[in-house]
């Protein structure tokens, strides 16, 4: 079993982050305030500032916390599958569905998401790198078992995830003015899996 990806979280901070998740889901990030989060926690705003200096700082930790939860759930999702091919396909399918659920939870427009992404680009990159590392391990597993040709596993993992991200963002930029829940995720998933299957066929013996 792969080791869980886990950060050290202060219990009070976890409570704040969970409250912030609910507030962001109810009002959207850009309409939420520190007062809203403090009220949801039943604490004074001054006490909230002891833990976080701004709403942006809370958002960053929310993303960090959600990324950790996502990566651990992803590992659990694929660990029981038998073949690297199955793991890779489930990996890409799971991340698309989790992303959809996360975006629907926060009820943001695509334009707002793209603006928030610019704020959080470093944190998204950190999560992306962890995904690449996990996918690279799966590909190396296939190479060791003699199922895949001995190509550069890291480059293949980067290519697969970069393609998946490109499909996501292409759809977002095409539909900037609509709520994110109106995106057709089934077609996104279908396109990603179709292309990944072709890539898998190319590296499989």
Looking at the structure, tell me whether residues 163 and 114 fall in a common domain.
yes
Contacts of 48 by beta carbon, 8 Å cutoff, 6+ apart = 16, 34, 37, 38, 41
Average pLDDT of the segment spanning 168-172: 81
> What is the model's pLDDT at position 7?
46
91 compared with 109, residue with greater pLDDT: 91
pLDDT tens column, 29-82: 778 899 999 999 999 999 999 999 998 899 888 888 888 888 999 999 999 999
Residue corresponding to tokens 């489930």: 90
Residues in the chain: 205
Looking at the structure, tell me whether residues 58 and 45 fall in a common domain.
no
Whether 194 maps to a domain, the answer reads yes
Whether 94 maps to a domain, the answer reads yes
- Looking at the chain, the whole-number percentage of residues with pLDDT higher than 70 is 83
Looking at the structure, tell me whether residues 59 and 75 fall in a common domain.
yes
Task: List the CATH number of the domain containing 187.
Answer: 1.10.357.10
Q: Which domain holds residue 70?
A: 54-203
> What is the model's pLDDT at position 114?
58
Alpha-carbon distance of 56 to 159, in angstroms, equals 31
User: pTM for this one?
Assistant: 0.78
First vs last C-alpha separation in the chain:
26
Looking at the structure, tell me whether residues 78 and 147 fall in a common domain.
yes
**How many separate domains does the chain show?**
2
Average pLDDT of the segment spanning 201-205: 96
Whether 4 maps to a domain, the answer reads no
- Looking at the chain, the whole-number percentage of residues with pLDDT higher than 90 is 50
Alpha-carbon distance of 189 to 94, in angstroms, equals 9
> What is the model's pLDDT at position 162?
96
Whether 128 maps to a domain, the answer reads yes
Looking at the structure, tell me whether residues 108 and 148 fall in a common domain.
yes
Looking at the structure, tell me whether residues 177 and 82 fall in a common domain.
yes
Alpha-carbon distance of 132 to 153, in angstroms, equals 10
Looking at the structure, tell me whether residues 86 and 185 fall in a common domain.
yes
Task: List the CATH number of the domain containing 37.
Answer: 1.10.10.60
Confidence check: pLDDT of 168 > 80: yes
Please say whether the beta carbons of 149 and 203 come within 8 A.
yes
Average pLDDT of the segment spanning 6-35: 81
Alpha-carbon distance of 126 to 53, in angstroms, equals 22
Contacts of 23 by beta carbon, 8 Å cutoff, 6+ apart = 32, 36, 37, 40
Band of pLDDT at residue 144, cut at 50, 70 and 90:
very high
Please say whether the beta carbons of 129 and 69 come within 8 A.
no
Band of pLDDT at residue 8, cut at 50, 70 and 90:
very low
Looking at the structure, tell me whether residues 94 and 60 fall in a common domain.
yes
pLDDT tens column, 103-135: 665 555 555 565 666 666 777 788 889 999 999
């Amino acid at each position: 079993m792969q080791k869980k990806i886990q950060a050290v979280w202060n219990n009070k901070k976890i409570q704040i982050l969970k409250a912030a998740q609910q507030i962001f889901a109810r009002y959207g990030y850009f309409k939420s305030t520190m007062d809203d989060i403090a009220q949801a926690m039943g604490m004074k705003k001054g006490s909230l500032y002891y833990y976080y200096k701004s709403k942006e700082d809370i958002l960053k930790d929310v993303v960090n916390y959600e990324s950790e939860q996502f990566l651990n759930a992803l590992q659990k999702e694929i660990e029981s599958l038998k073949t690297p091919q199955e793991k890779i396909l489930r990996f890409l399918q799971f991340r698309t569905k989790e992303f959809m659920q996360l975006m629907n939870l926060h009820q943001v427009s695509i334009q707002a998401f793209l603006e928030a992404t610019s704020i959080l680009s470093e944190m998204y990159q950190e999560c992306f790198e962890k995904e690449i590392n996990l996918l690279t391990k799966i590909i190396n597993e296939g190479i060791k078992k003699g199922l895949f040709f001995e190509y550069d596993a890291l480059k293949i993992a980067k290519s697969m995830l970069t393609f998946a991200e490109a499909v996501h963002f292409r759809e977002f930029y095409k539909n900037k003015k609509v709520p994110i829940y109106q995106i057709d995720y089934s077609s996104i998933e279908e396109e990603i899996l179709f292309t990944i299957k072709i890539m898998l066929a190319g590296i499989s013996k």
